[in-house]
Structure 1
Amino acid sequence: MRADLSDLNAFLAVARARGFRDGARAIGASASGVSEAVRRLEAGLGVRLLHRTTRSVVPTEAGARLLERLGPALGEVEAALDVVNGFRDRPAGTLRLNVPVSAARLVLPAIVPPFLAAYPDIQLEVTAEDSFVDLLSAGCDAGIRYDERLEGDMIAVPIGPRVQRYALAAAPAYLNRHGRPEHPRELLGHSCLRGRFSSGTMMVWEFERGSELVRVEPRGPLLVGVGAATDLAVDAAVAGTGILYLFEDWLRPYLERGELEPILEPWWQAFSGPFLYYPGRRLVPAPLRAFIEFIRR
């Protein structure tokens, strides 16, 4: 059968949002209109695509299979139509980025305002999460991640600082009570504020000085989700609860104000900065192309 593209787009929005109201909001339509589009699509296909309850909307097995193939396909249609954007005086449209919380906090603030000022016809949508996602299935044009998490078929463009460091710090009051570590292994005897990734993996604290590399799995009274709850750990460190291991740039304001004191700074490990990445197998939409050119400049 021939399915209307608007009906397919409505199904895609509802399936991703897990709800008719949120799906309708995502594409700027009414909930009733989106619901009718999905019913029309199901009737034409002769198969149920969504399980509907009063609390949730979940794709059926058939719906999940359609969603898996439909996201990339509609992305290609959008990219093909976007070719005409190149004939405009100024690129227009929506640019959707998926980034880690650290990039939303430390990298994008210096880039987003001047970019939007330079391209007033572009609307930027940013989703911040620390799990690695399939960009096309998630409806995103590009993402920001660190090089060890990039897939092989992606094109990567440097963005933000090219070298970053993990810093170790605690409140002066905590260090006055418990002492100042002189070697990373001494952290095993301290209260440490730890992080856990969304995958469930615990964050390992790594230190390096010369040719010596030390990995520590500390213990402590607080465990937070990396990214979303990191500010809670920072607040706890400032309050004197324990020692924190985090991006140096994230902690710099607290260090400069004296709310936190650097620990073992000669051991702080440096690592390469983040990359903007996008699929190399599709046409590059005009808003993304403008963003790439902007960060390269």
Structure 2
Amino acid sequence: MPLDIALLHAVVEVAKAGGFREAARVTGSNASRLSDAVRRAEQQLGIRLFHRTTRTVVLTEAGRALMVRLLPAMSEVDAALDALNDYRNTPGGTLRLNVPVSASRLVLPALVPEFLQRFPDIQLEIIAESNVQDVFRDGCDAGIRYEERLEQDVVIVPIGARRQRFAAAASPDYLNRHGRPQHPRDLIQHRCLRGRYASGVMPDWEFERDGESLRVKVSGPLVVSVGGAVDLAVETAIAGGGILYLFEDWLKPALESNQLEAILQPWWLEFSGPYLYYNDRRLIPAPLQAFINFVREKNLNLPS
């Protein structure tokens, strides 16, 4: 049966967002317009797709069956329309990336301004969060992940510095009052500022030197969510609240200004830099292809 594709888009957005208001926020539309579009789609199809209450909007069994088939198809339609951008002088459209908060802070600032200047018709949406998720399921075109978090069967492109480290640091005032640790195990006796992932995991601190690796279970007066509250931990450390173990590049401004003092430097854990990854089993949208090519170009200038 013929059905306006705009109505199908409305159904998909409401289903993905789990409600009219959230779908309106994500799409820049309004809830009443989306509600009307879904109602008209149901009328034309002759079947109810959502159970509605004053608080919830939930797919019916028929609606769930439709989404299973419709979501991949709509993704292909969107990608096919985006491919038309190859025939423009410059590509346009929306590019959605799911990235760790650390990447939004430490990797993307060196890339995004120039990318947007070079491709003024592309709208870039960055979803930055600490929890690991299936980025393709949530409508993103690609993601940035560190090596241990990469999904299977995806194409990866290095992005940003290839070698990174964690850095341990505290304020000179704290270290003068409590002493300077000489070995990672000394941290057990110190006030440490820790991070917790959205999953609830609060990782041990890992160190490595001359082939020796060890994990230290630290404790202290402050726990912050990895992502949104890391800057609070940095400011607490600067104020003398305890020892921090974080990305070296994140702490570099405070280290260079002597607000923080590096400790245990020979033990800092080194790890490989992040990767841009995407699924090449479907048609790659023009904005994503432009970003991939841009990142590869920048990689040519990275130190080997």
Shorter-chain TM-score bucket reads over 0.9
Q: Which letter does structure 1 place at the counterpart of 2:265?
A: E
The yes-or-no answer on 1:14 pairing with 2:26 is no
- Residues 166, 245 of structure 1: 8 Å contact kept: yes
- Residues 153, 280 of structure 1: 8 Å contact kept: no
- Residue 268 of structure 2 corresponds to 268
- Residues 82, 287 of structure 2: 8 Å contact kept: no
Query: Aligned with 2:95: secondary structure?
Result: strand
- Cα distance in 1 for partners of 2:268, 2:193 equals 17
User: How big is the shift at 1:234?
Assistant: 1.0
- Cα distance in 1 for partners of 2:48, 2:169 equals 55
User: How big is the shift at 1:65?
Assistant: 5.0
Equivalent runs, 1:47-86 vs 2, <5 Å = 47-60=47-60, 62-86=62-86
Distance verdict in 2 for CA 1:22–1:174, change over 3 Å: same
- Residues 10, 24 of structure 1: 8 Å contact kept: no
Query: Aligned with 2:241: secondary structure?
Result: coil
- Residue 112 of structure 1 corresponds to 112
Equivalent runs, 1:138-287 vs 2, <5 Å = 138-287=138-287
- Cα distance in 1 for partners of 2:61, 2:150 equals 29
Query: Aligned with 2:151: secondary structure?
Result: coil
Q: How many residues align?
A: 297
Distance verdict in 2 for CA 1:230–1:52, change over 3 Å: farther
* TM-score of the aligned structures, taking structure 1 as reference length: 0.93
User: How big is the shift at 1:258?
Assistant: 0.9
- Residues 71, 137 of structure 1: 8 Å contact kept: no
RMSD (CA atoms) = 1.8
Query: Aligned with 2:256: secondary structure?
Result: helix
Residue by residue over 1:188-219, the C-alpha shift from the partner in whole angstroms, topping out at 9 and shown as x without a partner, is 11111111111111122110010111111111
Query: Aligned with 2:276: secondary structure?
Result: strand
> Structure 1: 5+ residue runs without aligned partners?
none
Q: Which letter does structure 2 place at the counterpart of 1:179?
A: G
- Residues 71, 139 of structure 1: 8 Å contact kept: no
Residue by residue over 1:63-122, the C-alpha shift from the partner in whole angstroms, topping out at 9 and shown as x without a partner, is 455445433321111112222211111111111111110000000001000001111111
* TM-score of the aligned structures, taking structure 2 as reference length: 0.91
- Cα distance in 1 for partners of 2:184, 2:60 equals 51
Q: Which letter does structure 2 place at the counterpart of 1:216?
A: V
- Cα distance in 2 for partners of 1:237, 1:61 equals 52
- Residues 194, 219 of structure 2: 8 Å contact kept: yes
- Residues 171, 237 of structure 1: 8 Å contact kept: yes
Equivalent runs, 1:1-40 vs 2, <5 Å = 1-40=1-40
> Structure 2: 5+ residue runs without aligned partners?
298-304
